[in-house]
Amino acid sequence: MRDDETSAGIDGSLGAMLGTTLSPEHSKLQQTCREFADEVLIPAADLHDREESYPARNVDRLAKLGMMGILAPVRFGGLGMDNLGLCLALEEINRGCASTGVTLSVHNSLLSSPLLHFGTEAQQEKFFPRLASGESLGAYAITEPDHGSDAVGIETTCRREGDEWVLNGTKAWITNGSHASIVITFATIDPSMRSRGIHAFVIENTMPGFSVGKKEKKLGIRGSDTVQLVFDEMRVPAENLLGEEGQGFKIAMHTLDGGRIGIATQGVGIAQACLDATVSFAEGHQMFGRKLADNQLASHKIADMATRIEAARLLTVRAALLKDAGLPHSRQASMAKLSASEIANDAARMALEIHGGAGLGRQNPVERLFRDAKITEIYEGTSQIQRLVIARHVRPGRG
């Protein structure tokens, strides 16, 4: 748990970024999630990691707090908050438990956001009340066994038959997949058409032909379920097409920009947890007759962690503010994710170095944080993909 001075510094930095203090609504949301992380998530995080158990009770309690509907409109039972609010919430939740954090992030940023931007009024009326209340969990399915970074190469197919679409294919590495009842997925009418042939759909796990495939055994984020989804002649009502025909790739890329902001907040949250654990350990342990925190090497690592975490936090906030303003934010989202995911991994490494042998045991949360951090450099676009996106936008005449 961060002390008051550290917390005030974070709020002050965000206030400086915004040119004002956080709104009462934002401050309340942040404080609620901070307390929930300290009181509920941190004590349970290691258990969910060891047992590889989905944090159902955490998710239920977050739903009662309104956190499953952060972006959902008020008229559908949501909080009607913005992406800045989502960032504030996700950082605190991920600081407490990254498995719970990614569950919340996917539900809000990868499911609710595209439904909000591209869904029809009828689709929003049908799905948002269930999503906002937590009755239904959401997932986002674009990755396939042979297609991750190459989103235009997807092989899941769709064909129109009367008032239905018929989908065939397999999606892989789907967060929330075995517990989600509402999923946004993508399929192509013809793989040779590449991006022009991709359609987006809102599907439900009760549709004929839908099934959950194998569950993945993972290095980290072990409390979050990650599975394959199999579509075998799956029947989808025509009104469940999201956006227009052939608009799927546009929807996917727009959504992934928001998803990258979400994973950036996860990286910041994990890094902050590493810093918190390191400061606590260094203050409470002696080396050569003095506090470890007074050792120059340790103190310099702590200073580097704190500085880079703050930089990543501000990059993430900037991307969220641009998205809220309806301005281009693809470059900023990629910068935020790249910076945050790299400091998450570097902070975890430095935390282990300062903890020494004490950090290697399963009883120490730093060991879990070290494993959890790695995925932030991979999903929602690898660090290499982020660099390609950033370079494309800064080159003259590109982006």
Q: Calculate the dihedral angle through the C-alpha atoms of 333, 101, 310, 275, rounding to the nearest 10 degrees.
A: -150
Catalytic residue among 92, 342, 377, 380: 380
Residue 310 designated active-site: no
List active site positions.
380
